[in-house]
Each structure stands twice: as structure tokens, then as C-alpha cells.
Amino acid sequence: MSIVDQVCPVGAAPNLESDIELSIVVPMWNEEESVDIFFEQIEPILSSICENYEIICIDDGSTDGTLSRLVTHRVRDPRVKVLSLSRNFGKDIALSAGLNNAHGRAVVPMDCDLQDPPHVIAEMYQRKQEGFDVVIAVRASRRSDTALKRLTAGLFYRLHNSIADVTIPHDTGDFRMLDQRVVQVLRHLPERNRFMKGLFSWVGFTHATVEYERQPRAAGTTKWKYWKLWNFALDGITSSSSLPLRIWTYLGTSIAAMAFIYAAWLIFKVFAYGADVPGYASLMVTILFLGGINILATGILGEYLGRVYVEVRNRPLYVVRETHGLKAPAVEAPLQDRNRMSA
């Protein structure tokens, strides 16, 4: 039996806690300035789609007034549900926490900075009614991003898709609409290193796309600096492909072959022509080159070993400090414990 059939059999209704049609999952970190604007813009859009929706907001260890603003909106509207993590675990883990508590037939992960316009949700919902399991929002234009960010993002997508086991659609983020069956499968993926764009692609299912114009931030400042984006790109590549490890096998074999051929040529010159073997300059260049290659290869190996170390510790993915309107456990159980509890 496939994992899809185990999680949610074809033709069976998802096991929902209540009759929720649409879940919006919004991870937030120090977004106090954006919270009120976000609710002001998204609630009319959601009400035009259906009345039985929920907005799940994950406070990812904010140090400003984000949580207090969310609780205020929860008091005003019980469809707003709040999950506050004990510290900043990172956007992808916060998003996973939200997906673990989303029970709508359709689930939309999105940011609260409104760069992804809420009106696109209505377009995605219409496409989903055509029978698609996933509707991906594709950025038709990234004029709100800097030229450097557009360039580096394009390079990342090309590099990732050329070496990864599954491809990520260009100019996409987490903003998409997922059927509850897709969310159920995502919950059963055991990775501690959560590269959600890669996981969204890995699970497959039928998908469609809608295009939209990416907007400037409604308020506040971006939390994604270039160093953080660089580390995020490394996480994405090492989470999706083992090719960087294989490259060093090929490179090491090639260098060894060239060294053997060069040594054979030197021996031939000595015996055939009595030529002297040149000394230290070429030797130093060779040593420095091989030393640099070894250090780089060790670094890449360390990246993968670090991820293995994180996985084998099997710590909870996140720790919950408090909830409002949700019954989330204090910690997210490791996979084997979750399977035992659901058995």
C-alpha cells in the first residue's frame, strides 16, 4: 500500500477536526508592523470564498509585539488561531508546525508581508475546483526585488534543478494551495532539515499554476539577508541531491588519472632522453591545488554529515510555548512516536 493510501485513501474524506473548507498558514517572526494590515486585506478575500475558513498564525519566537497583536485578532475572530513557538526555529519549521495543525480541505501557506497578494487565493481556489491537488502561484514579475536578488535567485533555481532529484518551478515560493491529502503526506515526511520548496515538489500530485505580480512589502523590513539566503540555498541543494558528494568521486578519480599519466610521462622522459625533472615550482602548485580540493571536499562532506547528525538525534522539530484556539502538543513528536500514536 502506498503512503498516499495509508495517509488518506483515494475517495475518502480527510479526517478533519471540523468542517473547515480553507486553512491559511502564516509563519511570522517580528512582523508586528504587518499583522493588522495583513488581516485587513485577507479577511474580505477569504469571506468571498467561504465562511468556514481558519487563519493559523505561527509566532516563530518573535521578540516584538507580534504575539500580542495576534491574540487581539484571535479575541476578535475565533477563526484566527495562534501557535507560539518557544524560540525562533526558522521559517520552514514554523511552516511545518502550521501545516501540522491545518485541517481545511484546502491549505494555503503564505507570508504576512503581503508581497504575495491575498486576491490570488481566490484564483487558486477556482483552479483547485477543476480537480488539481496543488495550485502553485508563480511570480510573473519580481520588480519589487533588487537586481542582485533576482540574479542570485535565478542562478539558484538553475543550479538546483540541474542536480536535484526533483525540480522546483522557477520563481515560486511557498505560496500555493494544497489539498488536505497533500498536507497529510507532508506531515509524514521525517526530515529534521525542512526545505519546504523541495518537499512540496517531492510529494508530487497533480498541479496547476496561476501567475501574479509580486508586490513590495506592506510594512516592516525583510528578515532574509544575503548570508541567510546563501545558507538557505545550501540547505536546499544538500537536502535535495547527493550529486555534490559524487562530484568529488569523479574529480578525485580524474586527478589521480592525470597524476598517473604525468608521472608516466616524467619517467619516460628520464629514461628516453635523460631529461632532468623540474623542481619545486610545479610541486608547490600541485600541493596547493590538491590541498584546496581536499579542504573544499571536506567542507561539502561536513555539510552532509551535519545533516545526518541532526537527523539521528531525532529531537522534536519544534517546541510550542502557547496556543490560542489550537490543541497542539507542547512538542512535535518524532516520526516513530507520531506513527505509534496514530496506530
Encode pLDDT of 2-14 as tens digits.
333 333 333 333 4
Residue-wise pLDDT tens digits, 288-300: 667 667 766 776 7
Q: What is 3-241+316-342's CATH number, 3.30.160.250, 3.40.190.10, 3.90.550.10, 3.20.20.80? A: 3.90.550.10
Query: 171 — alpha (psi -120 to 50), left (phi > 0) or beta?
Result: left
What's the grid cell of residue 71?
491574540
In this structure, the strands spanning 106-109 and 22-28 are parallel
What are the φ and ψ backbone dihedral angles of 118, each rounded to 5 degrees? -60, -25
Tell me what the pLDDT averaged over the chain comes to. Answer: 75
What confidence tier does 149 reach under pLDDT thresholds 50, 70, 90? low
What is the number of helices (H) and of strands (E) in the chain? 12, 8
Give the confidence band of 55 by pLDDT, cuts at 50, 70, 90. very high
Question: Residue 313 pLDDT more than 60?
Answer: yes
42, three cell numbers: 485577507
Q: Which range has the top average pLDDT, 115-119, 164-168, 245-249? A: 115-119
**What span, in angstroms and rounded, lies between the C-alpha atoms of 20 and 50?**
9
Position 184 confidence tier, pLDDT thresholds 50, 70, 90: confident
**The predicted structure's pLDDT at residue 163:** 66
End-to-end CA distance of the chain: 16
Residue 48 sits at φ, ψ, to 5 deg, of -75, -20
Q: Look at residue 340 and tell me whether its pLDDT is greater than 60.
A: no
Question: What percent of the chain has pLDDT above 70?
Answer: 59
Rounded percentage of the chain residues whose pLDDT exceeds 90: 7
Residue whose cell numbers read 505580480: 213
Q: For residue 58, what pLDDT band results from cuts at 50, 70 and 90?
A: very high
In sign, the C-alpha dihedral spanning 72, 75, 77, 83 is positive
Q: Are 56 and 25 in contact, with CB atoms under 8 Å apart?
A: yes
d(CA 121, CA 113): 15
- How many whole angstroms separate alpha carbon 108 and alpha carbon 99? 9
Residues 292, 191: Cα–Cα separation, whole Å:
32
Query: Rounded to whole angstroms, how far apart are CA atoms 83 and 95?
Result: 11
DSSP symbols for 92-138: HHHHHHHHHT--SSEEEE--SSSSS-THHHHHHHHHHTTT-SEEEEE
